[in-house]
Amino acid sequence: MIKVAICDDDAAEAGRIENFVRTYGDFDISVYTNSRKLGWVIEDGADFDLYLLDVVMPNPDGIELARLIRKSDKTAAIIYLTSHNERALEAFHVHASQYLIKPVSYETLCRELDSVLTAVKSRNAKTFLIKTKDGTEAVPFHKIVCCELVNRTLCCITADGEKHRSVTLRTSFKESVSQLCTDSRFIYPHMSFVVNMDYVKSMQGNLLVMNTGADIPITRRAVSNIKEKYLEYFFGGEQE
């Protein structure tokens, strides 16, 4: 079930939006009238597929919440519902799906949900299957930061810091991660790593600097190709 978080320090408005969303469809909805509480929940590892956030709230405000969300989830949908349009540019920088001015009607919200939820369902459909000692685990593509070959096992690291360790591989690492490499987000910079570019902070020489703080090596012969893919993914291939 799709998980939705609604955050507005106006309890009446939060309740109104919740009723709209429940009328629209069947979702797992969590409502917060204190943005700090939602921030704590996110920092504790909870994640949602869709966030409906007010912009102007006590610390943290909606933009700051979105920055926190983006540290662990680059593709969750964010819709801003606000009485102010002055911060629309900031919303763009945190890749918000939409910026709606209050009062938002049910019809307007439905139109946006029609669009946003198509993308949400698409991203949730892709999962990477890992055979572990406890059984097969399905890890959503969008949560994967990187996979590493460790002592003939595959270690999949997700944005929440979890490590999913496979049993001993019976095929090569490259073959084991081939499913990921069919997705444009993933690159193969080194014979022992596959990386999700959504979590790359920068490329520095022969290293990919991840926003988790890790450095992923790039083999010398792959530097040119990885740089090209990196620029294409983030900047449409344009260089300064």
Domain count for the chain, please give it.
Answer: 2
d(CA 30, CA 18): 9
Give the pLDDT band (50/70/90) at residue 1: confident
Does pLDDT of 160 surpass 50? yes
Task: Give the pLDDT confidence score for residue 19 in this predicted structure.
Answer: 97
240 occurs within a structural domain: no
Is 111 found in the same domain as 145?
Answer: no
Whether residues 120 and 106 fall in one domain: yes
Do residues 133 and 221 share a domain? yes
End of a domain among 98, 125, 152? 125
Let me know whether 229 and 160 are in one domain: yes
d(CA 237, CA 210): 20
For the segment 32-75, what is each residue's pLDDT rounded down to a tens digit?
A: 999 999 999 988 878 899 999 998 888 898 889 988 988 878 88
Residue 89 pLDDT > 50: yes
Strand ranges in the chain using DSSP code E only, listed in sequence order: 3-7, 28-32, 50-53, 77-82, 98-101, 127-132, 135-140, 144-150, 153-158, 163-165, 186-190, 193-196, 200-204, 207-210, 215-217
Burial environment of residue 8 by CB neighbours within 10 A (0 to 12, 13 to 18, 19 or more): buried
Q: Is the pLDDT of residue 91 over 60?
A: no
Task: Among 125, 152, 181, identify where a domain stops.
Answer: 125
User: Residue 220 class from Cβ within 10 Å (0-12 exposed, 13-18 middle, 19+ buried)?
Assistant: exposed
CATH number at residue 92: 3.40.50.2300
**What pLDDT shows up at residue 94?**
60
Instruction: State what percent of residues in the chain have pLDDT above 90.
Output: 64
pTM for the complete prediction?
Answer: 0.70
pLDDT of residue 88: 56
Are residues 12 and 109 both part of a single domain?
A: yes
Would the pLDDT of 209 be above 90?
Answer: yes
Give the Å distances, CA to CA, from 66 to 70, 72, 97, 98: 6, 10, 11, 13
Domain hosting 63: range is 3-125
